[in-house]
Amino acid sequence: MSWTAPLRPLFRAGEGLLDRVLCLLGAVAFCQLPEFIQQYLQRLGGRLDEARRQLAEFEVVARSSNLTLPQFIERTSTNTDTAVAKLGGVMQGTIDRVNELATAESSLRNASIWEKPFVFFAHLDRSIASATLDVYRPAVPTTTEGLIYAAAGMITFLCIYHGCVRYPISAAVKKRAERRTSKIQAPKQPTP
């Protein structure tokens, strides 16, 4: 009888507790991604609204000059006054920004649960992500998406634990016990 025999029930209870803790940690960790994406989308939408507001102001000025916005940008960009010409670049940059933000927002909103992380990273705007991270508060979303990510986190953490920690340790303990047993049961060879 091994000296650890009386402690085995305690180890088993600890393994069950460790499994539960890992499930909880995995669920909370993985469900942060949909929560972060949601908060990122709110900031993205705010930036898009502001860029559209600026673009609308440029369109009002263009219409008041009886020009379309592209005509107004062209005329402004070719102005001999460099300060005015730079304004044409600013207006074109605003159009490009609106298109970029609108594409990112539409892609994220229309992505499926499984596509969303990939779409998020494909359209990631580092300045918006950084601003989101600065004010990010962890939360546990109760949406279907949050629950699916939580389940994936539980499974992932348990697989990592069982595959990288528990199984290798139990296999090593089993091999050690087998070696001890084989040494005890091996017949002694007579010495000549």
- The answer to whether 9 and 120 have CB atoms below 8 angstroms apart is no
Q: How confident is the model over 122-158, as pLDDT tens digits?
A: 999 999 999 999 999 988 888 889 899 998 998 888 8
Q: What is the value of pTM for the model shown?
A: 0.72
Interhelix angle 8-30/144-161, rounded to 10 degrees, is 140
Q: Which residues of the chain have pLDDT under 70?
A: 1-15, 185-192
pLDDT at res. 164: 80
pLDDT at res. 48: 98
- Tell me how far CA of residue 173 lies from CA of 168, 170, 188, in angstroms: 9, 5, 25
Spell out the domain ranges in the chain.
14-31+141-183, 33-139
